[in-house]
Amino acid sequence: MPPYMEKISKKAWLVVIVSALGYFVDIFDIVLFSITRIESLKDLGLSGDSLFNQGVLLLNIQMAGMLVGGLMWGAIGDRKGRITVLFGSIFTYSVANLLNAYVSSVPQYAVLRFIAGVGLAGELGAGVTLAIESLPRTKRGIGTTIIATVGVFGAMLASYVTKHYGWRDSYLLGGVLGFLLLLFRVGALESGLYSKIEKSKDIVRGSLVYAFRSKQRVIKVLHCLSVGLPIYFVSGVLVAFAPEISRVAGFQEEFSAAQAVFYSFFGFFFGDVSSGLLSQLLKSRKKTLAVYTIGTFAFCIAILFARGASPTVVKALYVIMGTFAGYWAIFVTVAAEQFGTNIRSIMATSIPNFVRASVIPITATLAVLREPVGLLGSAVFILVICTGFALYSTYKLDETFSKDMDYVE
């Protein structure tokens, strides 16, 4: 059967829908701290520079949890199945977010953000792995685009909720949404490709040592990670620290984190859809990645040097920047398509979380360079480095648009 005539089965559609709803809740919870950072820390008694410094620390702790969780859930996904990860990760971050609503000190906040990070790390990788193993090879990009696009609305809901309710109520809602999703996922089905190798004793599954033992695979992981760096520069700097950026860039009015999340993620919606469609049109992941990486760089620079920009112009710039930085769907698809079924969950789960954890060195560098060169200068420096790595790695990676996923390593 010609590739263009391959049909998507009802089972595959169910996998995509369930994974998309999971990512919706996942993104809702991930961005909550960025939006409520200032309000929650003020409520805990912090002020002045502590709001920035402790905010960086807590964000990094959450991302460290996602790094640990990415490795842990990835290994579990290859050993025990993709469905196990979906249930375990949702339960973990739902409990953590419910408890987050009752913190009374920064240390408590830090512990729960770490646990929440561990839980949040498993959702996307397991969902994307299930999707690409269930869909026809030429339709994989459609499925992952739907997952990522629906996820964007989670961030927009978080922006709306935090605008109308307090930060504690917002965390409560995140936990409740997680448990509702857990009930919905009872009927989710395991990947057929995984089921084929599940009982084989000759195939190594879920081994971190095996997955990262090969120098060639490690280099491929580093290239995959680098491709996503500009996305998390946007999320970790221009969105999370939008109030500080708006002041040093000289906007007419301060731009809040909630506004930055709403307008950039509005752009991410268009970016996920358009990058997925462009990938299908060009039949190339690599060309699509290159176009969106360059666009991200251009509009990040436009924001950083938008001195005197009116609120309307700033909102428009954040939407356009978000559109170009919205190639997350293609990025996670490429990360999953690069590896065999026996280590695919490890890679598809850990690589996006390695990228998320890149916020740690990005924000740490931002904090270190803030005094000698200023927040604006350090942001530009980091952006140039992230973009350079991303473009080089895009060039080095294999094209995977129509690659067969039924193989092991």
Q: What is the DSSP string of 22-47?
A: HHHHHHHHHHHHHHHHHHHHHHTT--
For residues 222 and 224, give the distance between their C-alpha atoms in angstroms, rounded to a whole number. Answer: 5
Q: Provide, rounded to the nearest whole percent, the portion of the chain with pLDDT above 70.
A: 94
Looking at the predicted structure, is the pLDDT value of residue 4 above 70? no
Closest CA to 23 of 139, 172, 146, 116: 146
pLDDT in tens, 180-214: 887 776 555 656 666 666 666 667 776 788 878 88
For residues 313 and 319, give the distance between their C-alpha atoms in angstroms, rounded to a whole number. Answer: 10
For residues 389 and 380, give the distance between their C-alpha atoms in angstroms, rounded to a whole number. Answer: 15
For residues 63 and 127, give the distance between their C-alpha atoms in angstroms, rounded to a whole number. Answer: 20
Q: Find the angle CA(8)-CA(344)-CA(117) to the nearest 5 degrees.
A: 100
> Burial level of 339, CB count in 10 A (0-12/13-18/19+)?
buried
Q: State the residue for tokens 């169910």.
A: 14
Closest CA to 249 of 295, 297, 317, 296: 317
Per-residue confidence band for 20, with pLDDT thresholds at 50, 70 and 90: confident
Residue that wins the pLDDT comparison between 252 and 184: 252
- Which range has the top average pLDDT, 121-135, 166-180, 306-320, 365-379? 306-320
For residues 180 and 186, give the distance between their C-alpha atoms in angstroms, rounded to a whole number. Answer: 11
Per-residue confidence band for 3, with pLDDT thresholds at 50, 70 and 90: very low
Residues with Cβ within 8 Å of 17's Cβ and at least 6 positions away in sequence, in order, are none
Looking at the predicted structure, is the pLDDT value of residue 314 above 90? yes
pLDDT at 193: 63
pLDDT in tens, 97-129: 999 999 999 999 999 999 999 998 888 888 888
**pTM of this structure:** 0.78
Residue that wins the pLDDT comparison between 52 and 318: 318
Q: What average pLDDT does this structure show over 216-237?
A: 93
Give Cα 73 distance to the centre of its chain.
15
Looking at the predicted structure, is the pLDDT value of residue 54 above 70? yes
Q: Which amino acid is at 161?
A: V
pLDDT at 6: 57
Looking at the predicted structure, is the pLDDT value of residue 169 above 90? yes
Write out the CATH class of domain 3-396: mainly alpha
Q: State the residue for tokens 């954890």.
A: 357
208: left (phi over 0), alpha (psi -120 to 50) or beta: alpha
Per-residue confidence band for 2, with pLDDT thresholds at 50, 70 and 90: very low
Q: What average pLDDT does this structure show over 272-298?
A: 93
- The tokens describing 320, both together, are 């356009």
Give Cα 13 distance to the centre of its chain.
22
pLDDT at 60: 83
HEC profile of 41-74: HHHCCCCCHHHHHHHHHHHHHHHHHHHHHHHHHH
The domain limits of the chain are 3-396
Q: Are 244 and 331 in contact (CB under 8 A)?
A: no
Closest CA to 11 of 143, 150, 126, 124: 143
For residues 285 and 326, give the distance between their C-alpha atoms in angstroms, rounded to a whole number. Answer: 14
Q: Find the angle CA(122)-CA(231)-CA(360) to the nearest 5 degrees.
A: 70
281: three-class secondary structure by DSSP: helix
For residues 35 and 204, give the distance between their C-alpha atoms in angstroms, rounded to a whole number. Answer: 42
- Residues making up the chain, counted from first to last: 409
Residues with Cβ within 8 Å of 13's Cβ and at least 6 positions away in sequence, in order, are none
Output the CA torsion 407→124→359→233 (10° steps). Answer: 90
Looking at the predicted structure, is the pLDDT value of residue 1 above 50? no
